[in-house]
Homo-oligomer: A and B are copies of this chain.
Amino acid sequence: MNGPVQNLQPEGGKSRRVYLLLLDEISNGTYPEGALLPGEQRLAQMYSVSRVTVRRALDALARDGRIEKRTGAGSVVLPARRDTGVTADLTTLIPQLEEMHRRTTARLLSFSYGPAPGPVAQALGLEPGAEVQMAQRVRLLDGGPFSHLTTHVPADLASRYSESDLATTPLFRLLERGGVTVAGARQWVSATLATPEVARSLDISEGSALISLIRVVRDAEGRAIEHLAALYRPDLYRFEMSLARVGAEDARHWSPVIGAEGGA
């Protein structure tokens, strides 16, 4: 009943396939910065597609800012702009702006009260349908969106701050200000695809890869007080951490380096 899987998935056609292949070969160094890609004719031959299809893929790469098309010359690989963006230290939850004169702001997309969705209620330990406050925000870096945040807070706690506070302050800090004792958090990092709605708010194409972070924050009594579902653009945001190999010879193990800057 579980034979060889047929390809009945909406894959996205050949041009998307070539797009992904080239994107991968650019980022893994097969075509390094400044290098000239093979000609469209040659690429078409390499991937067994028509030149029209190759051109679509190249146009998409050019739109992404990964290559530059030069009439009569060819397509050159542009430097991946890793110099920009935000890096977050996973061990301290503190985001570090690469350059200090940058600024992040937030934009509130939606704000409402209602019954908790199933997965959220389960993660927070609420009975299904319990009243929660839901807020969706987009964080901007110098005006460009880099993360999409969806938070759920039990309704009785949510009354302690205002809607406009959400545009400026992290939620757990608002809760602390309201008298709640934030004791700890548990979080999971994963990956997901951009749905049309998220793609629009993050200014990317739908189906792009996004970093997914789920965080459940608890107070001193162990009660869940916040559920955060965050989506980050991988080109503008990174999670980083340093580890040290410590312990005696027969019991060596890894341990996080807290607040490191140089790292290991």
Cβ proximity bits A18-29 to B, threshold 8 Å, 1 near / 0 not: 011101100111
A96 at interface, CB cutoff 8 A? no
Contact A264 B11 (CB under 8 A): no
Interface size on A, residues (CB 8 A): 80
This protein's copies in its complex: 2
Contact B244 A16 (CB under 8 A): no
Cβ proximity bits A225-264 to B, threshold 8 Å, 1 near / 0 not: 0000000001000111111110000001111111000011
A255 → chain B, closest Cβ, in Å? 6
User: Which residues of the partner chain B approach A188 to less than 8 Å between Cβ atoms?
Assistant: 238-240
Cβ proximity bits A29-40 to B, threshold 8 Å, 1 near / 0 not: 110110000000
Q: Which of B183, B193, B205 contacts A264 (CB 8 A)?
A: B183
Cβ proximity bits A120-152 to B, threshold 8 Å, 1 near / 0 not: 100000000000000000000000000000000
A-B contact list, 6 entries, CB within 8 Å:
A9-B60, A12-B16, A32-B117, A93-B254, A184-B242, A184-B245
